[in-house]
Amino acid sequence: MTIRTKIVGTGSFVPEKVLTNFDLEKMIDTSDEWITTRTGIKERHICRDGENNSDLAINAAKAALDMANIDPKELDLIIVGTLTPDMPMPSVACLVQHALGAKKAGAMDISATCSGFLYSLSVADKFVRCNPEAKILVIGSEVLSRRTNWQDRTTCVLFADGAGAAVVTGTQGEEGIVSTHLHADGSVWELLTIRGLGTAHPVDQSILDKGWQYIEMQGRDVFKHAVKALESVAFEALEASGWKMEDLDLLIAHQANIRILEHLRERLALPKDKVFINIHKYGNTSAASIPIALDEANRQGRLKPGDKVLMISFGGGFTWAGVTMRW
Ligand code: UT7
């Protein structure tokens, strides 16, 4: 008897405030044309003052719990993938646990940048396979706008805010997670980093003067690593699941750049309608990008029972991951 981890509810939430490419044209030396053709992004959502990561996470969680028809008090564990927590301590997961009144749930954050949601989902999967009754809330939530240098046109047009969530539990049916694949390569960490405000470089004027509180990215190098890693983990996950590419019903990949998504679609020989794309509306929301896309695909009716779904991510660290599941 195989125990599988099944997603029983999804939810997402983005801040109300929208920043379009035309707004950015007024702030920095850029153009809607450059951003659209080089990235696929048209607009993104940005937190207003006082709106925090945990607020987004709580709203996404409530939507997922509603869909799952599960009371927060039934939750055993809350995992939040994030690189932009409200504060170093406590975790976002603890703030969510308190706000939801999830009295018996353990709570932790996982730091795996843009792979944060798939890393968290993989941990939840192992937990559920040991305890099929467990009900786990898995969230990806980010406020990247507060780690973005709004003078740096090479990064500020890309990153944005949002949260997505999924509730998982055990099943003996055919549906659920089939395989999970986690990877990392810390040797090239400097290609995508926020150097400052950790314990290596605590708050001090010299750190702020250098802009080390912000995301730094060697875009072209990251692009090359991303396409290679995403393609490789896609094939690895399919092979482990015993699936052929043509069996796949939907690919949900991290929304970092439309050109990465198109490159992947060509390399994997997938038709357009099998690759989920929403980067034009949200930009790159790091750990939130896959659960937001998953929730949209779910609510748009693009996931039918039994569908074969592949999710893949890539981000700073580097980290990359793949998860296959039958819907
Ligand atoms: O989520 C984690 C994973 N992240 C990623 O996967 C991101 C991967 N990288 C990328 O998506 C792309 O490399 C970027 C979108 C970041 C950049 O696109 P690119 O085609 O690699 O551009 P580039 O960095 O090679 O820059 C080309 C030109 C440069 O001008 P010169 O040197 O050729 O005169 C840049 O200064 O475009 C210029 N540029 C801009 N121009 C207008 C860079 N940013 C902008 C901008 N507006 N916002």
One domain, residues 243 and 161: no
One domain, residues 110 and 229: no
One domain, residues 162 and 268: no
pLDDT tens-digit map of 157-177:
999 999 999 999 999 988 999
Instruction: Check whether 316 has a pLDDT greater than 90.
Output: yes
Indicate the residue among 174, 195, 211 that finishes a domain. Answer: 174
pLDDT tens-digit map of 20-73:
999 999 999 999 999 999 999 999 999 999 999 999 999 999 999 999 999 999
The pTM assigned to this predicted structure is: 0.98
From the number of C-beta atoms within 10 Å of its C-beta (0-12, 13-18, 19+), residue 154 rates as middle
Q: What is the pLDDT of residue 90?
A: 98
One domain, residues 28 and 130: yes
Q: Supply the CATH number for residue 228's domain.
A: 3.40.47.10
One domain, residues 19 and 166: yes
Mean pLDDT estimate for the chain: 98
In ligand 1, the atom with minimum distance to the C-alpha of 222 is 8
**Residue 1's pLDDT band (boundaries 50, 70, 90)?**
confident
Q: What is the pLDDT of residue 56?
A: 99
pLDDT tens-digit map of 268-297:
999 999 999 999 999 999 999 999 999 999
One domain, residues 102 and 226: no
Any atom of ligand 1 within 6 Å of the Cβ of 157: yes
One domain, residues 259 and 160: no
One domain, residues 85 and 108: yes
Instruction: Give Cα separations from 224 to 81, 105, 199, 259, 296 (angstroms).
Output: 24, 40, 30, 11, 28
Any atom of ligand 1 within 6 Å of the Cβ of 222: yes
Indicate the residue among 144, 174, 204 that finishes a domain. Answer: 174
Indicate the residue among 174, 205, 221 that finishes a domain. Answer: 174
**Cβ neighbour number for residue 315 with a 10 Å cutoff:** 26
Question: 77 and 124 in contact (C-beta within 8 Å)?
Answer: yes
One domain, residues 300 and 233: yes
Residues contacting residue 152 through CB under 8 Å, at least 6 positions apart:
211, 214
User: Which residue type occupies 96?
Assistant: V
Q: What is the pLDDT of residue 173?
A: 87
User: How many Å lie between the centroid of ligand 1 and the Cα of residue 66?
Assistant: 40
pLDDT tens-digit map of 89-137:
999 999 999 999 999 999 999 999 999 999 999 999 999 999 999 999 9
Any atom of ligand 1 within 6 Å of the Cβ of 257: yes
Domains of the chain: total? 2
**Cβ neighbour number for residue 210 with a 10 Å cutoff:** 13
**Residue 80's pLDDT band (boundaries 50, 70, 90)?**
very high
Any atom of ligand 1 within 6 Å of the Cβ of 219: yes
One domain, residues 258 and 126: no
234: containing domain: 178-326
Q: Which two tokens stand for residue 162?
A: 């949002």
DSSP 80-139: EE-SS-SSSSS-HHHHHHHHHT-TT-EEEEE--GGGHHHHHHHHHHHHHHH-TT--EEEE
User: How many Å lie between the centroid of ligand 1 and the Cα of residue 234?
Assistant: 25
- Mean pLDDT, rounded, for 222-239: 98
Residue 34 backbone dihedrals phi, psi, to 5 degrees: -65, -50
One domain, residues 168 and 214: no
Question: 309 and 324 in contact (C-beta within 8 Å)?
Answer: yes
